[in-house]
Amino acid sequence: MVVAHQLTPPSSRQEKLRDIELPIIDLMAERSEVSKLIVKASENFGFFKVINHGVPQQVIKAMEDESYGFFSKPASQKQRAGPTNPYGYGCKNIGINGDYGEVEYLLLHTNPLSIFQRSNTISNDPTLFRWAVNGYMEAVRELACEILELMAEGLRVSDTSVFSNFLRDSDSDSLLRLNHYPPLQLLQLHNTRNNRIGFGEHTDPQILTILRSNDVPGLQISPHEDGSWVPVSPHPSTAFCVNVGDALQALTNGRFLSVRHRAMVNSCRTRMSMAYFGAPATNTRIACSPELLSPHKTNLYRPFTWDEYKKATYSRKLGDTRLHFFRVQSDHDDLSE
């Protein structure tokens, strides 16, 4: 069974928005239909959820247990794994540009050697931690590759591994970020003006994000041009939330949308999420496949390397747009800051 819910734009930005369900796609359904629904969701929303994804529950639980175990430690012990430079433990300060949020996080590179080197400062049982992280990252990378190949099939690209090969590269620059959002006190929850930012608005610069979170609300997306924010209903099962990154928007010549999103802290319960960011190797050239171009649909973006885009991204604050600086300028474009 494949379920695809539709988003309805709000009639007014002042209207109180209700939680919505993103398209929920069953990966065990008929392949051609799954491919079509993934393409449609990527074009319309940039976000969707997948069920029957093949990632074993024990792999998910092992990673969740290690995450909860780390964040439950005293602050002094967690700080041994930081500061983020660029990987490691961070608390409230997000990146190097002054961004701030009600979040503590652990940022890891997916390279096994990097995980091995950092595990001693993260876990009391480094061997168990490495086993959990490597198992989880291998499973979600395979899920990401499967989704990218379904996307390529839906776009009718002859080489259906054109996107997934970026993630399978042994020098892939993919990341895993564990986010822990603290609960608000009851007094804060009753304050209607309280609207605390857990992780500020941004788009993901990589190719594809695979997100697993507990059943606590907080994720919001901004899919409409009016700039309004729509809360996303948490999915209590083992579903993964998937979203298009900036690099994939460029690779599909703007056909797939990298949508702004953020995480809020408005719950009396702890929220925890695990985000896999699938990225190419740093020297990889990002350019749209010629099969997705035509005389009526020319290149929107100039080719760039992942390292070039990554540096442009991390030199700016959260919420600042980056991809438009790589657009092919026409007589009608105004790309001034």
pLDDT by residue for the chain (337 residues), tens only, comes to: 333 434 444 333 334 456 667 899 999 999 999 999 999 999 999 999 999 999 999 999 999 999 999 999 999 999 999 888 889 999 999 988 889 999 999 999 999 999 999 999 999 999 999 999 999 999 999 999 999 999 999 999 999 999 999 999 999 999 999 999 988 875 465 554 557 899 999 999 999 999 999 989 999 999 887 788 999 988 767 799 999 999 999 999 999 999 999 999 977 889 999 999 999 999 999 999 999 998 888 999 999 999 999 999 988 888 887 888 899 864 444 433 3
Q: Is residue 97 part of a domain?
A: yes
Distance CA 63, CA 210 (A): 14
Q: Is residue 19 part of a domain?
A: no
Q: Which amino acid is at 161?
A: S
Distance CA 306, CA 333 (A): 24
Catalytic, 271? Answer yes
58 CB-near residues (< 8 Å, 6+ apart): none
Residue 22 is encoded by which pair of tokens?
């993103």
Distance CA 172, CA 216 (A): 31
What was the pLDDT predicted at 128?
A: 98
CATH of the domain at 48: 2.60.120.330
Pick the catalytic residue: 271, 285, 302, 327? 271
Which residues, listed in sequence order, are joined to residue 327 by a DSSP beta bridge?
301
Asked if residue 83 has a cis previous peptide bond (ω within 30° of 0), the answer is yes
What was the pLDDT predicted at 212?
A: 96
Distance CA 188, CA 60 (A): 32
Q: Which amino acid is at 125?
A: D
Q: Please, which contacts does 121-124 make with residues 24 or more away whose CB atoms are closer than 8 Å? A: 121/80, 121/81, 121/88, 122/70, 122/81, 122/89, 123/66, 123/69, 123/70
Distance CA 10, CA 203 (A): 22
Q: Is residue 229 part of a domain?
A: yes
Q: Which amino acid is at 245?
A: G
Distance CA 96, CA 118 (A): 21
Q: Is residue 321 part of a domain?
A: yes
Distance CA 335, CA 135 (A): 43
The arrangement of strands across the sheet holding 208-213 comes to 24-26, 47-51, 240-244, 208-213, 271-278, 175-181, 99-109, 88-94
Structural domain containing residue 190: 25-326
Q: Is residue 274 part of a domain?
A: yes
Helix, coil or strand: residue 326: helix
Asked if residue 183 has a cis previous peptide bond (ω within 30° of 0), the answer is no
Q: Is residue 313 part of a domain?
A: yes
Q: Is residue 246 part of a domain?
A: yes
E strands present in the chain: 24-26, 47-51, 88-94, 99-109, 175-181, 196-202, 208-213, 219-221, 230-231, 240-244, 261-265, 271-278, 285-286, 304-305
- If one counts every other C-beta atom within 10 angstroms of the C-beta of residue 223, the result is 19
Q: Is residue 270 part of a domain?
A: yes
327 CB-near residues (< 8 Å, 6+ apart): 300, 301, 302, 333, 335
When divided into structural domains, the chain yields a total of: 1
